[in-house]
Amino acid sequence: MFDPLVNLFFKSCASEFYEELNSRDIVKVVRLLEKKYRKIIAPFAKEHWVIALLSEEFAGQKTGKLLGNWFVEKYESLPPEKKAAWDSSRWLHHGAIGLLLVIRESKKDRPFLVGLGRGLMISDLQDQSKWITPEYKIAKKALEQMR
Would you state the pLDDT for residue 75? Answer: 79
Low-confidence stretches of the chain (pLDDT beneath 50): none
Would you state the pLDDT for residue 22? Answer: 65
- 2 Cβ partners below 8 Å, 6+ apart? 51, 55, 56, 58, 59, 62
In angstroms, rounded to a whole number, what is the distance separating the alpha carbons of residues 37 and 90?
Answer: 25
Would you state the pLDDT for residue 127? Answer: 81
Instruction: Check: CB of residue 21 under 8 Å from CB of residue 94.
Output: yes
